[in-house]
Amino acid sequence: MTTALRKSAVFYFTIITGISSCFCTDVNPEENPEIPAIAKYFSTKGRYEEVNPYLIEDILAVNRSILQPPSAQCRQIHLTAVIRHGTRYPTTKNVKKMKKLYDVVQGSNVSNRNWLRELQNQWRMWYTEDMDGRLVQKGVDDHKHLAVRLSKLFPSLISEEKLRGGFIKFITSSKHRCVNSTLSFKAGLTELWHIKDMEFDHAVNDALMRFFDKCTRFLEEVDNNPSAVTEVEKFKQGPEMRRVQQKIADILNVPYSAITDDMAEAAFYLCAYEFAIKTVNSPWCRLFDEVDAQVMEYANDLKHFWKRSYGYDINSKSSCILFHDVFSRLEKAAKENMSGQQVAEAVTVQVGHAETLLPLLTLLGFFNDSEPLTSTNFAAQTRRSFRTSHMLPYAANLILVLYDCGGGDLRLQPLLNEKPVTFPGLADQASMPLYQDVLQHYRDLLQGCDFETECQLFKQPAEV
């Protein structure tokens, strides 16, 4: 495994100038008309603030009472954070889809509705293919603000002393949006503490943060296999999605054939990107009501379920290498602490993708509903826990905090998006179970789950 060190002084991002476990945290659009009524259904294109609405009023707000260690003598000894990159521009693939939709709108004979005329006559297609998923200024702020909030939540670990002393490590995917998110996280801390006399390294490690690119079995059986997403394609051709497409066609006064499922998705993404990047409640959002948005969210959830989560075993097993890395850091910290040594790595910040975080959450057993998501059970899944809008907004994060509560009593607290969650299977211990119980619960994965073995492609011998 090779890692490349980069200096945080190289802040590599481009800004286009001149361009303006169920979590019940719905934003009420009536209280803030600047927020689209459908913003809570944006899946992986959603803002972090929709998951934690209190941040809309104060982006640096924290509530330390949520941590609730079992006794006052508990002290934090190690924290590992696996974080998704911040808000980004659309990828080249999605820009192309959006451009096609824009051309359809420009050529349509819209009605006299003001917002439709605005869409056709005033809104201009400003997304370009060379943006290709790069971090935007909002994404820079996502990670700066997250760094400050985590320093307030965990002041004994994420501190100026620990940073200067080399006790905080940074690891990132090689993708520019992840490198720039890592730089932004570090900048949040250095600006907070006015550090100007030191720079802090980070390691680029795709083996950990882009494991899905390295797992041959996943690539062959799922990622590059059209039959793996049959349920997704069936839903896109089904009655719910067809109703959304026809409704958009009716509004735009174009033939039904002009609005494909890709076009409907492009319209939904335009609404989401305009809001996430520019905080604009765009006229694109008016093409969807709440039920339409639920359909679009379900289509996205289906894709993530089958391509990155519980749909196939290899989806989660591809994250074995990251799973073992996280637990090896916890174990090293536990042993150093128990032997009376100073914990050498107090904090590990690992920045990757939604595709990094979701397989790991799946491997740990989070958000596993009793029934799988399929093309035919949209109506039955309205109360599902598997909601990417709640799990994987921009800057989504899984945080594991190791506590020493005295007398050899080590505890491990998981948080998702700054909220305590419960390890599946350990609900009787609430959100801070004994560390040894967590190890026992995941013993089969800790003893097995070998990345090389799991990702090996087993082929049937050729017929003689």
Structural domain includes residue 35: no
pLDDT in tens, 303-324: 999 999 999 999 999 999 999 9
The pLDDT score that the predictor gives to residue 25 is: 40
Distance of CA 43 to the CA centre of its chain: 9
More confident residue, 459 or 357: 357
Whether the per-residue pLDDT at 112 is higher than 80: the answer is no
**Total domain count, the chain:** 1
Of 83, 40, 27, whose CA–CA distance to 387 is shortest?
A: 40
Structural domain includes residue 461: no
| Active-site residue set | 85
Structural domain includes residue 30: no
Q: Phi-psi bin for 409: left (phi > 0), alpha (psi -120 to 50), beta?
A: beta
Of 436, 446, 427, whose CA–CA distance to 403 is shortest?
A: 436
Q: Residue 50: pLDDT band by 50, 70, 90 thresholds? A: very high
Structural domain includes residue 22: no
Residue whose token pair is 């690119």? 213
| Three-class SS state of 5 | strand
| Three-class SS state of 412 | strand
Whether the per-residue pLDDT at 19 is higher than 60: the answer is no
Q: What is the mean predicted confidence (pLDDT) over 234-248?
A: 97
CATH of the domain at 385: 3.40.50.1240
Q: What is the mean predicted confidence (pLDDT) over 333-346?
A: 96
Structural domain includes residue 335: yes
Structural domain includes residue 17: no
Structural domain includes residue 436: yes
Q: Residue 462: pLDDT band by 50, 70, 90 thresholds? A: very low
The pLDDT score that the predictor gives to residue 111 is: 66
pLDDT in tens, 245-294: 999 999 998 999 999 999 999 999 999 999 999 999 999 999 999 999 99
Q: What is the mean predicted confidence (pLDDT) over 108-129?
A: 84
Structural domain includes residue 370: yes
Give pTM, 2 decimals: 0.91
Residue 231 belongs to what domain range?
Answer: 41-455
298: tokens are 């379900």
The pLDDT score that the predictor gives to residue 457 is: 82
Q: What is the mean predicted confidence (pLDDT) over 380-388?
A: 97
Q: Residue 18: pLDDT band by 50, 70, 90 thresholds? A: very low
The pLDDT score that the predictor gives to residue 3 is: 41
The pLDDT score that the predictor gives to residue 68 is: 85
The pLDDT score that the predictor gives to residue 429 is: 67
117, 121, 223 from 114: Cα distances, Å: 5, 10, 43
Of 160, 181, 147, whose CA–CA distance to 62 is shortest?
A: 147
Distance of CA 36 to the CA centre of its chain: 20
pLDDT in tens, 68-85: 888 899 999 999 999 999
Whether the per-residue pLDDT at 29 is higher than 80: the answer is no
> In 10 A of CB 107, how many CB atoms?
11
